[in-house]
Amino acid sequence: MTEPMVWRLFTVQVQSVTDLSPTYKRFTFAGPDLADFADCGYDLRLKLILPAPTGGFTELVHGPDWYTVWRATPDERRNPIRTYTARQVRRGQCEVDVDVALHGDAGPASRWARAARPGDRIVLMGPNAAHEGPHGGVEFVPPAPGVPVLLAGDETAVPAIAAILERLPAGTVGAALLEVPYAADALALTAPAGVDVRWLARDGAAHGSLLVPAVQEAAARLVPVPGTAEAVEDVDVDNDILWEVPEDAASGRLYAWLAGEAAVIRTLRRHLVGERGLDRKAVAFMGYWRQGRTEEG
């Protein structure tokens, strides 16, 4: 018998579209396939497989060879693939929510999200519950009890931070800093009382212009005495992916999880590890997107 695939394709329909704020639309995807979508929690990522430029999913094959077939498909018939966060998985109801931050028509995912309606068909790629054992796709590692957390990101990281906050133990302390386009993008979140949740509205300012000083201030407050600064080699965010995640639970003075525009996250990494002296094994840095580049590079 062949082993079930770790990740697989799930054919779904848009069940509902909810305008959460000027920037966010929540998509509830539904379909019997989702009975096997594993709820791995925290910042679990998934892939949205979008209709091809010529429309539909005629070239997409399910099964172990799907990726090889997808790669070989001519551009106009190939389905664009973009990464998102499973904001909530309701396996029993065969539903998955994804919160999409709209950014105009520049990319296929944002363009699709602006126009999508209930009943539209789409394909997700995500963890297969039929597979026993770890699925991957989750980067947040719950820190040891008593270790404060610092969660920070832009509008693309808000769904992940919201899902992480919901799962943190009640006694967790720390800060969550969320930079979003507008004040009206502040969503209702569930978080432990000891985590200071702060929304930072850019209102037209540059990406990171509020997040960077806010992270610097929060790090200084949560870890008042700097550690030994470590030399950090700079990642070329235009050609390489900024992705550095510890695998073990942090037991030090702070656990930090940061995601968003890659150049902004690189600046934060430089500050926290290179200046503030945080142990890099306790800091997860993820470039979720790069200004001026598509997810395909």
Ligand X SMILES: Cc1cc2nc3c(=O)[nH]c(=O)nc-3n(C[C@H](O)[C@H](O)[C@H](O)COP(=O)(O)OP(=O)(O)OC[C@H]3O[C@@H](n4cnc5c(N)ncnc54)[C@H](O)[C@@H]3O)c2cc1C
Q: Kindly list the residues in this chain that would bind ligand X in the complex (CB under 6 A).
A: 45, 82-85, 99-101, 103, 106-110, 155-156, 159, 288-295
Minimum distance from CB of 229 to ligand X (Å)?
28
Residue the block writes with tokens 């551009």: 75
DSSP code per residue over 5-32: PSEEEEEEEEEEEEE-SSSEEEEEEE-G
CA–CA dist 102, 265 (Å, integer): 20
Using the minimum distance from each CB to ligand X, give the nearer residue, 127 or 159. Answer: 159
Using the minimum distance from each CB to ligand X, give the nearer residue, 37 or 288. Answer: 288
The total of other beta-carbon atoms located within 10 Å of residue 22's CB is 12
Asked if 79 and 108 touch (Cβ cutoff 8 Å), the reply is no
Q: Which of 285, 197, 166, 199 is nearest to 237 (CA)?
A: 285
Chain mean position to CA 69: 27
Using the minimum distance from each CB to ligand X, give the nearer residue, 98 or 195. Answer: 98
Minimum distance from CB of 169 to ligand X (Å)?
23
Using the minimum distance from each CB to ligand X, give the nearer residue, 58 or 294. Answer: 294
Minimum distance from CB of 275 to ligand X (Å)?
26
Minimum distance from CB of 1 to ligand X (Å)?
32
Q: Which of 44, 279, 48, 38 is nearest to 160 (CA)?
A: 44
Minimum distance from CB of 9 to ligand X (Å)?
18
Using the minimum distance from each CB to ligand X, give the nearer residue, 107 or 192. Answer: 107
Which residue's Cβ lies closest to ligand X? 107
**Amino acid identity for residue 167 in this structure:** R
Asked if 53 and 75 touch (Cβ cutoff 8 Å), the reply is yes
**Which residues make Cβ contacts (< 8 Å) with residue 266, sequence separation at least 6?**
234, 235, 237, 242, 285, 287
Minimum distance from CB of 156 to ligand X (Å)?
4
Using the minimum distance from each CB to ligand X, give the nearer residue, 33 or 179. Answer: 179
